Amino acid sequence: MTVTAELKDVTKAYGSKIVVDAVNLQIREGEILALLGPNGSGKTTILKILAFIESPTSGEVTFQGEKVNFKNTEKERLQSTLVFQKTTVFGTSVYNNIAYGLKIRKVPKETRDREVKKALELVKLEGFEKRNARKLSGGEQQRVAIARALVLNTKLLLLDEPTANLDPKNAGILEEVIDTVNRENKITIVMATHNMFQAKKLPHRIALMDEGKITEVGTPAEVFGKLSKNLASFAAVDNTFTGTAKATAAGTSKVDVGNGVQIEITAQRQGATVVFINPQDIILSKAAVESSARNVFKGKITEITDLDPLVKLKVDVGKPFTVQITKRSFSEMGLCLNAEVFITFKASSVHVF
């Protein structure tokens, strides 16, 4: 097993605020490693340190067997690239965006054209070369950002919540791309996510993060298997709830997650259980809808975040749920803070750990 990068006792503080706290982490060649944790747990900072655009306050980083000198990381930066959570594109054509890193690496024009074309095919944006990147939709811009990183064929590819702001279609395309470049191009990937479902599906290993510390590292099976130990960390992740399950007469189970919220699941369970509901699987409505879905809760909107083209809402139904809807639905439904809404999801779309 070759180690691509390693963090040894890495701490990062901004003023007196410690955001990464004595982290030790090995990134193995060829793997997909997911940093799973709630917002503000230090995932982004670790990625920026691994991208060599942020230097640790203390501790040591090695990259490809060599200790990194953070005073000058120009050489290392050519081998590690980060795709930001907030999509940023240069105010120029899609071609110029994707070719930027290749131009810096002095790749000849013919090769550049070919590589840009290949990268655009990979993210399903064929023929977009001449379009103005700023005029694309949010999802398309994020795909341009991924293509711009992929085209560089770096040793290490870092993705910060690559699908957090995307609709299911764009998110699906990206997950496929991540899987493909890892398998076929053998690119080592570190991705930050607070989506439990994604963390279970894509990566080879998961590093569970909470308050700047890594609390657990292992394969998804190992990490999710030690649920009781990591309950606190899991509970901080969006739409993840812990509670006690009881079988129902109908062959399903109900998980009591507290505050009067009982979530119905299809699996037969007894005792301590962790459930996760993908924010995209939740239907939001102003009145209770009659449907086959087993879980319907009434609550109030407590937080609205604009993630163009999506809107992320926090709905308090006794427990806080994160719901993602399109901006269009949001304005058509005339939603606002404190509005009373219903959330609905199927028992079969609840992921049980």
Partner 1 sequence: MADVLGDIVEALQLIVTGDPEILGIVSRSLLFSGTAVILAILWGTPLAMLIAMKDFRGKTVIKTFLNTLIGLPTVVLGLILFLIFSRGGPLGFLGLLYTPAAIMIGQAILVTPILVSIGVSAIESVDPEIMSLSKTLGASESQAQVAVLKEAASGIILSDLASFNRAIGELGVVLLVGGNIAGFGNRTDVLTTAISRNVQIGETGLAIALGILLVLILFTINIIVVVLRKANYIVELAKGPYAKLKRSRETKR
Q: Please, what is the minimum distance in Å from the beta carbon of residue 128 to partner 1? A: 15
For partner 1, which is the closer residue by CB, 80 or 182? 80
Find out whether 61 and 68 touch, Cβ atoms under 8 Å. yes
Least distance from partner 1 to the Cβ atom of residue 288, Å: 43
Whose Cβ is closer to partner 1: residue 82's or residue 310's?
82
Give the DSSP letter of residue 134. Answer: G
CA triplet 8, 82, 193: central angle to 5 degrees? Answer: 80
* Rounded Cα–Cα distance for residues 163 and 145 (Å): 12
Helices 109-122, 138-150: axis angle to 10 degrees equals 130
Give the nearer residue to partner 1 in terms of CB position, either 104 or 289: 104
| Residue placing its CB nearer to partner 1 in the complex, 48 or 312 | 48
CB of 44 to partner 1, least distance (A): 11
Q: How far is the CB of 16 from partner 1 (least distance, A)?
A: 19
Least distance (Å) between residue 81 CB and partner 1: 5
In this complex, which beta carbon is closest to partner 1, that of residue 84 or of residue 241?
84
Q: For residue 79, what are its two tokens?
A: 């081998």
Listed in sequence order, the residues at least 6 apart from 314 whose beta carbon sits closer than 8 Å to its beta carbon are 301, 302, 303, 304, 320, 321, 322, 323
For partner 1, the closer of residues 156 and 196 by Cβ is 156
Structure-block tokens of residue 222: 């190992």
Alpha-carbon distance of 252 to 268, in angstroms, equals 6
**CA angle, residues 120, 124, 127, in degrees to nearest 5:** 55
Q: Which positions lie near partner 1, rule CB under 8 A?
A: 48, 51, 53, 74, 77-78, 80-82, 84, 86, 88, 90-92, 100-101, 104-105, 148-149, 152
